[in-house]
């Protein structure tokens, strides 16, 4: 007992020393060129061009032919989703994809919001830009940049956008009305992939900052989950004076001695600032640890040799679907691995899920999207050591892969003004629970603007 108290005291001192010695720093803005070859001497074309998603009979016929030639391995008895995507349920998805899924209709849905492209640092950057359809008199919309992650896309935001741009017609107050910009990370869907090594989250953050300036926004809000959370965090570290507020639903916190409290947290949770809800979501830690271990195999592959697995996934639409949709199962709720169908249709429609797959398949971007892991992980990055001082809000969804207590977040984001325990939802928050996430963004913006 006394040894545990001594250890807790020493650990508390170490945490205090570690946290208190930080200085407020920013990342250098710098510049880059990620297009093929040498950077041209002529200035970059800064025009913003309308873009439209298109398809063709040839594209659809090729997909169908590849689906028709699929080879599946029967699953083990009673394996459900514990060995990965269950091929018995995959047969249902294949049948729907081949015989009922209407890609032309989904392309029309994709085009319901305005799409654009513009050249930045040698790359053609794709984004959607949605303005409020019914702006209240005398009100100015708040610019909001929303950034997706892997294996997602800009399409994940389609259901949350109405709650942000047209709240009154979707059951919310019109106190806060947003103008929403959703870019595609370079190498994902319609944004051109880098031709050079080293294209990481900081380079992406700088490009998206330049995009917002090009659109005429000097100050704006930003929101992200997964890679989007890191990119938005980097933006706040690069140009904090331009960021009105940062809202996240996941975060990467590496410099955090609070993780050392986990063995003692069960006995001394209150001492370390854990709430009862934190304790429910963190413990038993052994269960959480092994769940993270099971769900992180892809991370090692994509952080080391992404091109190898990319060759297989870019050649097989069914393989691509199994690889990606398995994440939409267990990252939505880890207990879905106990179900024969992975629980996929409990939260999402097959049309929505397959539209996400098609954005990787038709653009051939699965390999370039996976390279983002290799460029960001496996080396020490300066941004990991820097705090973020812009006003920050966080939505803690209970089925996220790893729960982050408020105390942990404040070591990285000391100006955390809003922290919410969300009632339900997992990793793909905007896609799964758009109204809940929109409400939390609005809550955060309200708190920030009243400061």
Dist CA 354 CA 329 (whole Å):
14
Q: Is 66 left (phi over 0), alpha (psi -120 to 50) or beta?
A: alpha
- Does 22 map to a domain? no
pLDDT, tens digit (0-9, with 9 covering 90-100), for 206-222? 999 999 999 999 999 99
CB atoms within 10 A of CB 98: 15
Band (pLDDT 50/70/90 cuts) for residue 352 is very high
419 is catalytic: no
Q: Are 223 and 48 in contact (CB under 8 A)?
A: no
The answer to whether residue 194 sits within a structural domain is yes
Does some domain include residue 406? yes
Which of 373, 383, 419, 440 is an active site residue? 373
* Nearest in space to 256 (alpha carbons), one of 380, 399, 410, 382: 410
More confident residue, 273 or 362: 362
- Domain boundaries, position 432: 55-450
Assess if residue 43 is contained within a domain: no
How many separate domains does the chain show?
A: 1
Q: How many CB atoms lie within 10 A of CB 2?
A: 6
Residue 170 annotated to the active site: no
pLDDT in tens, 105-145: 999 999 999 999 999 999 999 999 999 999 998 899 999 99
Q: What is the pTM of this model?
A: 0.94
Cα(315)–Cα(321) distance, integer angstroms: 11
Mean predicted confidence (pLDDT) in 383-387:
93
Catalytic residue among 274, 383, 427, 440: 427
Residue 291: band (very low, low, confident or very high) from pLDDT cuts 50, 70, 90: confident
Are the CB atoms for 421 and 398 separated by under 8 Å? yes
Residue 310 falls within a domain, yes or no?
Answer: yes
Concatenate the DSSP letters of all residues of 147-162 into one string. Answer: E--TT--GGGGTTTHH
| 186 lies in some domain | yes
Residue 446 maps to a domain: yes
CATH number reported for the structural domain that contains residue 183 in this entry: 3.40.50.1820
Instruction: Identify the active-site residue in 166, 226, 278, 440.
Output: 226
Cα separation of 390 and 239, whole Å? 10
- Cβ-contact 437, 249 below 8 angstroms: yes
Query: How far, in Å, CA of 390 to CA of 417, rounded?
Result: 10
Nearest to 424 by CA among 351, 294, 335: 335
Known active-site residue 102: no
Give the per-residue pLDDT at 7: 42
Structure tokens of 183?
């870019």
Q: Kindly list the distances between the CA atom of residue 82 and the CA atoms of 284, 326, 383, in Å, as whole numbers in the listed order.
A: 20, 10, 36
78: Cβ–Cβ under 8 A, 6 or more apart, which residues? none
Predicted confidence (pLDDT) per residue in 233-261, tens digit: 999 999 999 999 999 999 988 766 667 67
Q: What is the pLDDT of residue 23?
A: 67
Give the ranges where 100-174 is alpha helix by DSSP (H): 103-110, 161-165
In a domain? residue 30 = no
């Amino acid at each position: 007992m006394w040894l545990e108290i001594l250890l807790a005291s020493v650990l508390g001192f170490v945490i205090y020393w570690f946290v208190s010695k930080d200085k407020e720093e920013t990342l250098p803005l710098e510049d880059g060129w990620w297009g093929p070859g040498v950077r041209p001497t002529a200035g970059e074309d800064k025009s913003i061009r309308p873009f439209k998603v298109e398809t063709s009979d040839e594209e659809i016929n090729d997909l169908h032919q590849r689906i028709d030639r699929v080879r599946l391995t029967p699953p083990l008895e009673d394996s459900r989703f514990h060995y990965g995507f269950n091929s018995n349920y995959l047969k249902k998805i294949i049948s729907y994809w081949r015989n009922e899924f209407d890609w032309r209709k989904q392309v029309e849905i994709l085009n319901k919001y305005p799409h654009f492209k513009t050249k930045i640092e040698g790359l053609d950057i794709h984004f959607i830009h949605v303005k409020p359809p019914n702006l209240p008199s005398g009100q100015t919309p708040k610019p909001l940049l929303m950034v997706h992650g892997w294996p997602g896309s800009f399409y994940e935001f389609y259901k949350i956008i109405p709650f942000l741009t047209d709240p009154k017609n979707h059951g919310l107050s019109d106190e806060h009305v947003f103008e929403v910009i959703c870019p595609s990370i370079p190498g994902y869907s319609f944004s051109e992939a880098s031709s050079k090594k080293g294209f990481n989250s900081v380079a992406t953050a700088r490009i998206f900052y330049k995009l917002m300036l090009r659109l005429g926004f000097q100050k704006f809000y930003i929101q992200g989950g997964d890679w989007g959370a890191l990119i938005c965090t980097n933006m706040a570290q690069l140009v904090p004076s331009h960021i009105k507020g940062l809202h996240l639903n996941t975060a990467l916190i590496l410099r955090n001695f609070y993780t050392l409290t986990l063995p003692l947290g069960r006995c001394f949770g209150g001492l370390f600032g854990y709430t009862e809800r934190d304790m429910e979501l963190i413990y038993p830690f052994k269960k959480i640890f092994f769940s993270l271990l099971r769900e992180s195999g892809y991370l090692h592959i994509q952080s080391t040799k992404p091109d190898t697995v990319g060759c297989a996934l870019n050649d097989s639409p069914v393989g691509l679907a199994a690889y990606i949709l398995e994440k939409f199962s267990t990252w939505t709720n880890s207990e879905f691995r106990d179900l024969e169908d992975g629980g996929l249709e409990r939260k999402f429609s097959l049309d929505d899920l397959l539209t996400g797959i098609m954005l990787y398949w038709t653009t051939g971007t699965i390999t370039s999207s996976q390279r983002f892991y290799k460029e960001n992980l496996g080396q020490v990055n300066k941004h990991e050591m820097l705090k973020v001082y812009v006003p920050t809000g966080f939505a803690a969804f209970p089925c996220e892969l790893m729960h982050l207590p408020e105390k942990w977040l404040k070591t990285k984001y000391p100006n955390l003004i809003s922290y919410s325990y969300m009632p339900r939802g997992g990793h793909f928050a905007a896609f799964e629970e758009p109204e809940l996430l929109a409400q939390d963004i609005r809550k955060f913006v309200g708190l920030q603007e009243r400061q």
